[in-house]
């Protein structure tokens, strides 16, 4: 009998994901202009500081993944909420540039402790057999973070300074997220104590053969990194890219189609993609993202073409968030899931930190069209790498079957 997903835990984590992404990630672009003014920095320097913080956060991710396996994701997320609140306060009260950058690094470190990577690990630890569906449901809820927090941040910032907004956001992490994570952590420990040795949580076995796991991990990390490159580069430059292709002021309006499309793809997958293997879903996601970027080249400056790009890109990016949690579980199983997520997250965050600057350099050097073509090609390469993972899995299964038959 299939285990039901832990609905209460998913809803609770969904609330913390909305707050976590909204306060620690989506709010930054809205508050950055005033940060730049108060620090006496050009806006490029402020975003450069964010990229540096992302880079350092990526380097820290493998250690954080080990802590999740060792201490439990619930405890790590509880500590992460406290660190997030403290880092937001430190950023708001930073007296100068150095302390501001240090606090920003703290925010990015806290993000790794409370956002999807840690939340996926917690769902795997709570109920491994139901984790794939649980992750899908969680990303559906978390997909509303930008829809909710972009207007909330804008409204708050109309009445407050960016420092005061960050203090309010620190309160949300401390008063709402920390208690939720603490309760989930306590419940998980109680469940384990009740079950004891007589009824341990059922593990999920990975589908990759032991001999193929090293190469499988390298390929998976490469495919995720390539997709993160496409996602990060395009999302940061979406409005300037569309403007540069001739859409002018319409570019900002077109960008609003991205968020709802993410939610739509996750909802569609939840309703109709229950039996779709994560590897196929990953291939679909990478294909949609690559196709969306390429679609801009022949259709610009058509508004209809730009809207199609935003919708298709949103669909692909929405599915990509799901497969970053479900594909590692399928290929490698539930044992050591936190450590594996930390290693993959490190590669993704490092690429995400560099990608916006790389695309900006390409646009300045070879123009928008060729830059889009190369970005789309990176997405195509991700598809080919995912296909190679499928072939690796089939070869491993065939080898194991042959070895079993020989021994018999």
Residue 198: per-residue pLDDT: 46
Rounded to whole angstroms, how far apart are CA atoms 188 and 176?
19
Q: What percent of the chain has pLDDT over 90?
A: 43
Lowest mean per-residue pLDDT among 37-51, 316-330, 377-391 = 37-51
pLDDT bracket for residue 1 (50, 70, 90): very low
- Which residue's entry shows tokens 């539930």? 334
Pairwise CA distance, residues 256 & 265, whole Å = 15
- Angle CA(38)–CA(44)–CA(50) in degrees, nearest 5? 80
- Cβ atoms 123, 187 nearer than 8 A: no
Provide the mean pLDDT of the chain. 87
- Is the model's pLDDT at 404 over the cut of 70? no
Over 100-126, what HEC string results?
HHHHHHHHHHHHHHHCHHHHHHHHHHH
Q: How far apart are CA 109 and CA 222, in angstroms?
A: 23
pLDDT tens, residue by residue, 3-58: 788 999 999 999 999 999 999 988 887 888 899 899 998 877 887 888 888 888 88
Q: How far is CA 32 from CA 125, 130, 167, in A?
A: 37, 40, 15
**What's the distance, CA 231 to chain centroid?**
10
- Please state which of the ranges 36-40, 89-93, 310-314, 402-406 shows the lowest mean pLDDT: 402-406
Please report how many Cα atoms fall inside a 13 Å half-sphere around the Cα of residue 362, on the Cβ side: 18
| pLDDT level of residue 354 (50, 70, 90 thresholds) | confident
Q: How far apart are CA 12 and CA 103, in angstroms?
A: 27
Q: What distance in Å separates the CA atoms of residue 34 and residue 23, rounded to the nearest whole number?
A: 16
In the chain, what are the domains? 7-195 (1.20.1250.20), 210-400 (1.20.1250.20)
Predicted local confidence at residue 350, as pLDDT = 86
Lowest-pLDDT range of 104-118, 205-219, 251-265, 299-313: 251-265
pLDDT mean over 171-178:
97
The band of 143, judged by pLDDT with boundaries at 50, 70 and 90, is confident
């Amino acid at each position: 009998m299939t285990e039901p997903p832990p609905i209460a835990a998913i809803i609770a984590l969904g609330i913390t994901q909305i707050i976590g992404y909204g306060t620690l990630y989506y709010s930054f672009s809205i508050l950055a202009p005033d940060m730049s003014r108060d620090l006496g920095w050009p806006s490029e320097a402020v975003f450069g500081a964010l990229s540096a913080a992302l880079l350092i956060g990526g380097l820290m991710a493998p250690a954080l993944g080990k802590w999740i396996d060792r201490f439990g994701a619930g405890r790590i997320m509880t500590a992460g909420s406290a660190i997030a609140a403290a880092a937001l306060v430190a950023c708001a009260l930073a007296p100068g540039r150095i302390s501001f950058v240090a606090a920003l690094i703290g925010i990015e470190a806290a993000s790794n402790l409370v956002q999807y990577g840690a939340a996926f690990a917690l769902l795997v630890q709570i109920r491994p057999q139901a984790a794939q569906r649980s992750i899908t449901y969680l990303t559906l809820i978390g997909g509303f973070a930008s829809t909710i927090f972009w207007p909330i941040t804008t409204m708050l910032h109309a009445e407050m300074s960016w420092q005061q907004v960050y203090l309010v956001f620190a309160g949300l992490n401390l008063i709402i997220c920390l208690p939720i994570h603490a309760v989930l952590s306590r419940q998980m420990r109680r469940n384990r104590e009740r079950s004891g040795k007589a009824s341990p949580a059922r593990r999920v076995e990975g589908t990759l053969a032991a001999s193929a796991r090293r190469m499988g991990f390298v390929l998976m990390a490469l495919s995720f990194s390539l997709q993160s490159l496409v996602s990060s580069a395009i999302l940061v430059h979406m409005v300037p890219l569309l403007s540069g292709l001739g859409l002018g002021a319409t570019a900002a309006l077109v960008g609003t189609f991205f968020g709802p499309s993410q939610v739509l793809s996750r909802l569609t997958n939840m309703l109709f993609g229950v039996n779709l293997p994560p590897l196929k879903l990953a291939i679909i996601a990478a294909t949609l993202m690559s196709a969306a970027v390429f679609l801009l080249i022949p259709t610009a400056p058509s508004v209809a073409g730009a809207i199609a790009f935003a919708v298709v890109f949103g669909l692909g990016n929405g599915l990509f968030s799901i497969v970053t949690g479900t594909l590692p579980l399928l290929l490698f199983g539930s044992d050591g899931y936190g450590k594996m997520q930390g290693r993959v997250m490190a590669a993704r965050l490092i690429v995400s930190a560099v990608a916006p600057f790389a695309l900006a350099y390409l646009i300045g050097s070879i123009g928008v069209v060729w830059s889009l073509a190369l970005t789309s090609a990176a997405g195509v390469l991700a598809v080919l790498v995912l296909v190679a993972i499928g072939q690796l899995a089939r070869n491993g299964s065939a080898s194991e079957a042959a070895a079993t038959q020989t021994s018999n």
